Amino acid sequence: MTHQIGVAWLAAAVVLRHQADNPSLDVNLQQACLRRSISTAYYVVFHLITGDTTALVCVDAHESPVVHRLRRSLNHADLKNVLASVLGSVEYDQQRGSRHGPISMPLLCMQALAETFIWLQKASEAADYAFDQPFDALKADQALANAEAVISEWQLISPDLKQQFAQLLVLRVMPNPR
């Protein structure tokens, strides 16, 4: 997925968010629009990162069976865990006084991306499953802003560093032969 496609899909989440402001909608439809905007914002980011990962790891990034299978194997929990491990590496390096983690990613950019992605994932889970919890416009606005931030942060990462991240993610989803 390219940056432009991610931005276009994020526009759909913004439309959903603005539909929730329509005073003629009943409360349940407003809630549905807010929840869907949050969930859409998260999925834009998820598919941007996993799409780039697939393109970076596969020689032929077109729709071959291998590419399709890899893309389907990259799941939400693994992406969250790899990003959490990046946060752990960043914290470890900060304690040691180093500026770069063992995976050589820019400290501030990757830390911000990881924290924001994990926040978005939690917000999306709540929007999709916590029906007893009402959502307000501020939460949806924050999710949209966070998705935009992750898209921007992802663009700041060099192709070489994205390649390292992609390799970490793919290694995470490979079956363990033991």
Tens of pLDDT, residue by residue over 140-165, are 999 999 999 888 888 888 888 788 88
Which residue matches tokens 């994990």? Answer: 118
Tens of pLDDT, residue by residue over 29-77, are 999 999 999 999 999 999 888 888 888 877 665 667 777 777 777 778 8
Domain ranges of the chain: 3-173
Distance, in Å, from the CA atom of 46 to the CA atom of 53, rounded to the nearest integer, reads 11
pTM, full prediction: 0.80
Distance, in Å, from the CA atom of 139 to the CA atom of 144, rounded to the nearest integer, reads 9
Give one DSSP letter per residue of 29-88, joined into a string. Answer: HHHHHHHHHHHHHHHHHHHHHHHHHHHHH-SS-SS-HHHHHHHHH--HHHHHHHHHHHHH
